[in-house]
Amino acid sequence: MRRRGGFTLVELLIVVAIIGILIAISVINYMSAIQRSKQRRTMGDQRALSSGMEAYAIDLGRYPPASGYSLPGGLTLPTTTLGATVPYLSPTYMRNVPLVDGWSSWLEYGPSQSYADYAIRSAGRDGQADSSPVYGPTTVFEADIILVDGQFVQFPDGAQH
C-alpha cells in the first residue's frame, strides 16, 4: 500500500501547539516591553522637567510653586500636579511641559515650603501613589517613580513584573 503525502493529525497538533507556545511567549515579552517603554518615557519626562525647574531656579532663585494655576475651560487639577508649573516653565524653560506619565496619570510635583528642593512623582502603572515608598531600585511596574532634586530615589531596575 502506498502512503499518501501530507501530515498526520498528530503532526499538525504538535505544530499548532508549538506555534501557540511561541505566540504566548512573544505576547508576554511584548507586554513587558510596552511597560518598560512607558517607564523610560516617564523617567525622560521627569529629567526634562527637572532641567526646566533647575533653569527656572537659577534665574529666579526659587522653584516654581505647585498651585495657583487653572486650565482653560474650567478644568481643575489636583494641587500637586504639574499643571500649576506650566505658566512658570513654558515657553521660556520648556516648550512642552509634560503633565502626564507614560500611563496617562498626572505627574505630581511638590516643592518644599522654602522652595529649596522639589520632588516629581509618577504613580506607576497602577496610577496609585505608594503610601510608603521603598527608596532605591524597584522591580514592580506598579511602583512609583520618584525624582528628588534631579536624582531618582525610587526607580525601575532589573527584570520587572
| 79 close to 85: Cβ distance less than 8 angstroms | no
**pLDDT the model gives residue 77:** 44
pLDDT at 11 over 50: yes
Domains and CATH numbers, the chain: 9-156 (3.30.700.10)
Distances (CA, A) of 1 to 4, 9, 11, 21: 9, 20, 21, 37
Q: Which of 9-13, 94-98, 117-121 has the lowest mean pLDDT?
A: 117-121
pLDDT score of 37 more than 80: yes
Mean pLDDT, to the nearest integer, of 92-96?
89
The residues facing 48 across adjacent strands are none
With 50 as the cut, is the pLDDT of residue 29 above it? yes
**Model confidence band, residue 43 (pLDDT cutoffs 50, 70, 90):** very high
Report, as an integer, the average pLDDT of 124-150: 83
Specify the pLDDT at position 83: 73
